[in-house]
Amino acid sequence: MTETLSFPGLGLQFHLNRVAFQIGGFAVYWYGIIIAVAFLAGMTYAFKRVRTFGLDGDRVVDVALGAIVGALIGARIYYVIFSWDEFSGNLMSVFNTRQGGIAIYGGIIGGFLAGWAMCKWRQVRFLPMADLATGSIILGQAIGRWGNFVNVEAFGGNTSMPWGMTSPGITAYLKAQAGELADIGMKGDPALPVHPTFLYESLWCLIGFALIALYTKRRRFDGELVLFYAAWYGAGRFVIEGLRTDSLLIGTMRVSQLVALLCVVVSVTVWLAVRSRIRRNADPEYLRLYVETEEGQSVLEGTFYQNPETASVPEEPEAEGDDTLETLDEADADMDTDMDTDMDTDADGPVDEGSKSRRMEE
């Protein structure tokens, strides 16, 4: 369980043990502890900013817990789908997450889907909730990536930069995967240091978190932070994924690069379209933030959910303008109408050395 990780260019060396401590015969891994810290940091941030988005703190907790369950399921399903050869011979291994195998994009997709369902159940506006969640998610990612450091995984190909790293496990992995790396046009010389791509992504997410935190009070419409997150993280992930040696593949194409590129294109396109529509209306009240609406203010005052009539069918913020372009807020309202017409009320563990399953977290 112990491995020595070296940064030759920096003269640094770390002796890492994936197991933090044991309770009887049960091992508690540093990876799990780091993920728990990431979760607590994200929830703390959400509680600090919940009123900024016009949301009820208790209901936000319910939505967040449901979203976390959905994220864990989605992360595993995503990984299994794109690594089916690892599981086709033993279907029960699908449920053995302690041997590794989750993917962050699957977690994001699963978390947002589950979060949307929980918002419907708990009468919480989805877009303000999603905006609030983006800060928590990207902060959690920045912290959680250090679990890859402890596990000595999620690294890239060779680099001559002074922060290149190496270890016996990295050397063994590059030797074992030489053929697969060659198939995707990557050279992995076991004798040379590699990119610490986990570090790159952690720093990229930390910068993204700072930008989201600063921009929160300047956002113009609900859903804008979601678009920023999708574009920011997607742009960084597209570049970083191209350096990694453990990508999930479709043929020779990296799945996460395709998803990242799609996120960037779609989010930037939607953002430009909505901003253009706002400019055409030239009305500061047009598509105003949920927190500024009468409904949002009543939520903050603690009166909205006490009134059965208003709580059962939430009032939509008023907006007038060109009907040819569906805005994010209107899409949220449409979903509410369709779903509620007939309703009165509403850790991964260590990975075996040299194994393909070293892809702990895509």
Q: What is the pLDDT of residue 206?
A: 98
Of 245, 149, 148, the closest CA to residue 188 belongs to 245
Angle at 73 between CA 72 and CA 78, to 5 degrees: 100
Under 8 Å between Cβ of 254 and 184: yes
- The ranges of the chain with pLDDT < 50 are 313, 315-329, 331, 333-361
- Name residues whose C-beta falls within 8 Å of residue 168's C-beta, 6 or more positions apart in sequence: 3, 4
**Packing angle, helices 30-49 and 57-82, rounded to 10:** 140
How many secondary structure helices (H) and strands (E) does the chain include? 13, 6
**For the chain, percent helix, then strand, then coil, each to nearest 5?**
60, 10, 30
Q: Write down the pLDDT at residue 273.
A: 96
Please enumerate, as own/partner, the contacts of 267-275 that have beta carbons within 8 Å and a separation of 24 or more.
267/226, 267/227, 267/228, 267/230, 267/231, 267/234, 268/227, 268/231, 270/227, 270/328, 271/224, 271/227, 271/228, 271/231, 273/325, 274/221, 274/223, 274/224, 274/325, 274/327, 274/328, 275/220
Beta strand 26-29 with 249-250 is unpaired
Structure tokens at 260: 């990242």
Do residues 229 and 137 make contact, with C-beta atoms less than 8 angstroms apart? yes
**Distance between CA atoms of residues 331 and 94, nearest Å:** 35
- The DSSP letter of residue 316 is P
Residue type, 42: G
SS3 for 121-156 is HHCCCHHHHHHHHHHHHHHHHHHHCHHHHHHCCCCE
Kindly state the tokens that stand for 299. 């939520």
Q: Whole-angstrom distance between the N-terminal and C-terminal Cα of the chain?
A: 22
Cα separation, 79 vs 94, in Å, equals 10
**Which two three-digit tokens encode residue 303?**
């009166």
The CA-based diameter of the chain, rounded to the nearest angstrom, is 69
Exposure b/e, 290-310, CB count within 10 A at least 16 = b: bbebebbebbbeeebbeeeeb
Alpha helices in 145-189 (DSSP H): 146-151, 168-176, 178-183
User: Rounded to the nearest 5 degrees, what angle is found at the Cα of 125, between the Cα atoms of 231 and 134?
Assistant: 30
Other Cβ atoms within 10 Å of 160 Cβ, number: 8
Question: What's the pLDDT at 24?
Answer: 86
**115 vs 118: CA distance, rounded Å:** 5
DSSP 84: G
pTM: 0.82
Q: What contacts 26, CB < 8 A, 6 or more positions away?
A: none
- Residue 83: per-residue pLDDT: 80
What CA–CA distance (Å, rounded) separates 199 from 205?
10
pLDDT of residue 265: 98
